[in-house]
A and B are shown apart, each in its own frame.
Chain A
Amino acid sequence: MRAAMLAELPRHAIDALRANPLRSLLTILSVVAGVAAVIAMTTLGHGVSRKVETEINKLGVGVLTLRVGQRARGGKGASIEAQAFDYADVEAIRSSVRHVQSVVPLVSRKARVVSGRHNLMTTLLGTESDYFAARAWSVAEGRAFTAHEMHVGAAACIIGETIRTQFFQGGEALGALLRLGTVPCTVIGVLAPRGQSGEEDSDNIVAIPFDAYQRRVQGSPDIGTIVVTAVGGKVTPAQKDALEALMRERRRLDPFEPSDFTLLDMRQIAEASAATARMMTSLLGTIAVLMLLVGGLGITNVMLVSVAERRREIAIRMAIGALPGHILGQFLIEAVALSTIGSVFGTLVGVGSAVFLAPLLQVPFVLDADVVWVSFAMALAIGVTFGFAPARRAARLDPISGLRAA
């Protein structure tokens, strides 16, 4: 087709669509629904992937978390908190499980942190410097605890971003004095911000050396959690088995007794949740594609009706010089016009629904610029795919019978 012809076809398509506005509108709406569904689902899908990614990063890779569990008592189904770990357990793991990078104790409780006239409820952690590395959490300002500070249980603390903004309003935090409950300590580091984790504010946190926590806050050698990281960032099943066997032995459990502690492989949990998220996304994606298919079939249907109604027009055009290719092009462009208009509005509705749904599904709203191209590609594909059969029927019309129909 020559350029002069190509420039003319869209105008004819718009004329034809305007001749039957209600029908055109209904067809466009069916495309809007389909494209909106696809755009909303892909946008939410991006958000889900982003969320899973962030969660995995927060958890840290190759991390095993050992927690005190429940212990059955008296066989009546009642259970009590099992015996806590202690620092001897930490050292036993360090010395007997192969290829561990770090083993750190973790104890925590809610505590009030006070500075001058300000005070705030926060999560107080007692741990060692390696904990931050295990959680892939960097100290943005200042430093982590030194070996000496950990050894003597120095009154030093590392604070989260929330504490810094609440207490120091962007001013100098390092070297400042905070009171944790009754324990005063000096700020030596500020952690990089991590944001929300579910309902919890990850940055509302103060960490002190494990020894300091044990002696000044807790007053007992109990440890609730031990965090173990593997060399190379990946925990092997052998390491898990070795760890479990070691702990069972140290806790003197009978061979048939269930373990009274839990061993969480963070990576495994993260991967399981990522897989669930992916499955949900692809399921929703399938539904969206089906809706798109229905919208496309709407175009086929309307175009078939249109071709049947316009046999006279087609015949006239053929008689005055239109080649079959011109007729095919005209009807394809009409179909593409319908699907393009539907796509534009569908994209807006889809992005809008994603904005609305993202907070409900607790995923971040991630707008991908590719959405624009995706929807244009969809418009073209829908129009051409679903408009082809009717357009070909029009192009094959016999001009004599079409003129007789007048």
Chain B
Amino acid sequence: MTTASPIVALRMASKTYGRGNARVEALKSATVSIQPGEFAAIVGASGSGKSTMLNLLGCLDVPCSGSCLLAGVETASLAVDQRSRLRRDTIGFVFQGYQLLERMDAWRNVELPLIYRGVPPPERGRRVERALDAVGLIDRARHRPGAMSGGQQQRIAIARAIVSEPPLLIADEPTGAVDAATGDDIIDVFHTLNRTQNTTVVLVTHDERIAHRCGRMIRLVDGRIVSDTPTDARRDAG
């Protein structure tokens, strides 16, 4: 552990859904701290609280109790609009089902985050090109998502997440919908970004093999963090 300030950290964070008998405690007093440049995997069975934790880390949601610090800011204290801005400025998201907009080709999908950030067109073009190049799909720029394989779509989604050059990448089951070989390719892309751009990556997976390829593995069981350990990948890299 370094002493640098974490890019995102949970302290005694809990999240509860529902009321009365339907009350579900999805996350119980989780404390975790992600340093800049880390590559962490959150693993656990379905219903273990992985997605809840990811939503908190990704500032899509705020904890019911405890705290969540994103880039040093307490997310629960922010208004919706401020939270949107903080998220926009610090995080790139990759989702399980790619979540590309079908009506637009790859180029326009990747371009969208820059439009929302008010980047002017010439600069936009350069950055879209760089992002598509980074995921090796510059030749597919004018294809629509429907005309691409699952692996290609996920790489477009990654390009979209990194185009705004966020310090933190959050990925929810990025390999969940593709076969093992394609899954490895996707993890390779994350590794490259992590190593060359020093992008912090936090991903959720239920695939132990994938998790072992990340530098750090946080295991959740029934809403609690039961282990938080460096992996072989990290020891190798270190």
Contact = CB atoms under 8 A, between A and B. Distances in A.
B61 A400 contact: yes
A317 B81 CA distance: 14
A323 B88 contact: yes
B23 interface: no
Interface string B44-85: 000000000001000011000000000000000000110011
Contact of B103 (A15, A320, A324, A399): A15
A8 B115 contact: yes
A contacts with B: majority SS: helix
A326 B85 CA distance: 12
A406 interface: yes
A318 B103 contact: no
Interface string A321-334: 11111100000000
B84 A4 contact: no
A320 B161 contact: yes
Given A5-B118, A313-B101, A320 B81 contact: no
B120 interface: yes
Contacts, number: 66
A19 B112 contact: no
Contact of A320 (B55, B61, B116, B120): B116
Contacts of B80: 324
A403 B112 contact: no
Given A4-B119, A5-B118, A319-B93, A324 B84 contact: yes
Interface string B161-198: 10010000000000000000000000000000000000
A2 B118 contact: yes
Contact count band on A: 20 to 34
B144 to A, nearest CB: 12
Contacts of B160: 320
Given A5-B118, A321-B117, A321-B164, A406 B97 contact: yes
Interface residues of B, number: 31
Contact of B84 (A5, A312, A318): A318
Interface in A317-353: 317-326
B112 A4 contact: no
B99 interface: yes
A273 B36 CA distance: 83
Nearest to B112: A320
Most buried by B among A5, A319, A321: A321
Nearest to A322: B116
B97 A324 contact: no
Contact of B115 (A4, A16, A312, A324): A4
B113 interface: yes
A5 B116 CA distance: 6
B136 interface: no
Given A400-B55, A406-B99, A321 B118 contact: no
Contacts of B55: 400
B95 interface: yes
A321 B101 contact: no
Interface of B: 55, 60-61, 80-81, 84-85, 87-88, 92-93, 95, 97, 99-101, 103-104, 112-113, 115-121, 124, 160-161, 164
**Which 7 residue pairs of A and B lie closest in terms of their CB atoms, listed nearest first?**
A2-B118, A321-B116, A321-B88, A321-B113, A320-B113, A323-B84, A316-B99
30 contacts: A1-B118, A4-B115, A4-B118, A4-B120, A4-B121, A4-B124, A5-B116, A8-B115, A15-B103, A19-B103, A316-B99, A316-B100, A316-B101, A319-B93, A320-B93, A320-B113, A320-B116, A321-B87, A321-B88, A321-B116, A322-B116, A323-B88, A323-B116, A324-B80, A324-B84, A399-B60, A400-B60, A403-B95, A406-B95, A406-B97
Interface of A: 1-2, 4-5, 8, 15-16, 19, 312-313, 316-326, 399-400, 403, 406
